[in-house]
Structure formats: C-alpha cells, structure tokens
C-alpha cells in the first residue's frame, strides 16, 4: 500500500495513531521517543521533519533521507522497482520532493541518533551521511553510529548489542534531561 505513497498515507496514519494515543491520555505531545529501521527509519525522519512537535528524540536506523539519491544509488536493474515504489525523479519530482525527509531539515530540531551500515546495498551510507552533515551544519544535536562491517540490518550479534546499547543510552539521556528540565 505504500507504493508511490511513501510519505503521505503512511505518515498520516502514524499522525492519526499518535493523536489517538494523546486523546486516550496514553501519550503526551512532545514526550514521545520515535524509532524506526529501513522504511521505518525513513518514516522516523519524515515524521520528525513534518511533525516535530510530537517527539522528544528520534532514532533512525538505515533510513532513506532523500528519495532522489535513494533512486539513483541503487543498481540500474533495480530502477523499475524503485519507480514502482517511490516514483520517477523527473515525472514525479513534486511528490518525491514532498516525500523526502531532507526537504524538512529546518523542522528537525529534536536530538537524533542515526545508525547506518557502511556496506548497506539498499540504503547506502550516503543517505545517512547527507542528512547528518546538513543537520550538523544547522547546529542540531546528532549522534551518528556507522557500523563498518554491516549492511542493511544487524548480521553480527556484537553489532546488535552495540546498536541497542547506543539506542538505550540515547533515549535514557534524553529522558533524564527532560526530567531535569521539568524540575527547574
């Protein structure tokens, strides 16, 4: 259902779900931690850029940051599939721009942890590099963990432990900093 609708329908489904949680008093705006991997990493970036008011901190694991560079980074024989998934860079320029998280850098104000496999053939390292570099240029709070011996996912137990330890520490740091801020 996400084919050529990576950024609209799924994003709004997430927003409606978050609003429902808030309406049910199960969550509070500006206090949620957001994390996703692969398409979920892409969605974490897009939600952060388009709806930062919901989140305290964000973790992106192997997520696409720019649909144009994502499209051009895959092998040529994947391009028909990419066109089916995200669109064609020339014919669908407006939609791909609107659906690319990198379009919304100015809104990405929450602390972020980005995790990337250096050997990822699906979401190449440059996808994470470009968003990390541009957010750092904007003075944002960005932690970047590159796993030199991983691809798209965690194939090694020690890397899985390292990644989830980093995620836990990141969330704990921002939970405690928020608690300290509430006491002031």
User: SS3 of 171, please?
Assistant: helix
Q: How many Å apart are CA 117 and CA 120, to the nearest integer?
A: 5
Give 155's contacts (C-beta < 8 A, 6+ positions apart): none
Residues taking part in catalysis: 38, 120, 152
Which residues are registered as beta bridge partners of 34?
Answer: 58
Please report how many Cα atoms fall inside a 13 Å half-sphere around the Cα of residue 159, on the Cβ side. 17
Are 90 and 7 a contacting pair, CB within 8 Å?
Answer: no
Give 10's contacts (C-beta < 8 A, 6+ positions apart): 1, 2, 43
């Amino acid at each position: 259902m996400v084919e050529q609708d990576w950024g609209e329908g799924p994003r709004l489904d997430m927003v409606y779900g978050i609003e429902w949680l808030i309406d049910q008093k199960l969550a509070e705006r500006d206090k949620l931690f957001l994390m996703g991997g692969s398409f979920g990493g892409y969605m974490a970036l897009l939600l952060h850029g388009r709806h930062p008011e919901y989140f305290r901190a964000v973790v992106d694991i192997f997520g696409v940051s720019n649909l144009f560079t994502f499209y051009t980074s895959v092998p040529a024989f994947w391009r028909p599939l990419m066109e089916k998934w995200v669109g064609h860079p020339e014919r669908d320029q407006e939609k791909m721009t609107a659906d690319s998280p990198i379009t919304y850098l100015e809104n990405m104000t929450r602390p972020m942890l980005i995790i990337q496999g250096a050997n990822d053939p699906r979401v190449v390292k440059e996808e994470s590099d470009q968003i990390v570099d541009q957010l750092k240029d904007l003075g944002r709070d960005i932690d970047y963990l590159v796993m030199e011996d991983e691809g798209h996912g965690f194939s090694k137990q020690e890397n899985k432990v390292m990644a989830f330890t980093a995620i836990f520490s990141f969330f704990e740091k921002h939970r405690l900093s928020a608690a300290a801020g509430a006491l002031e």
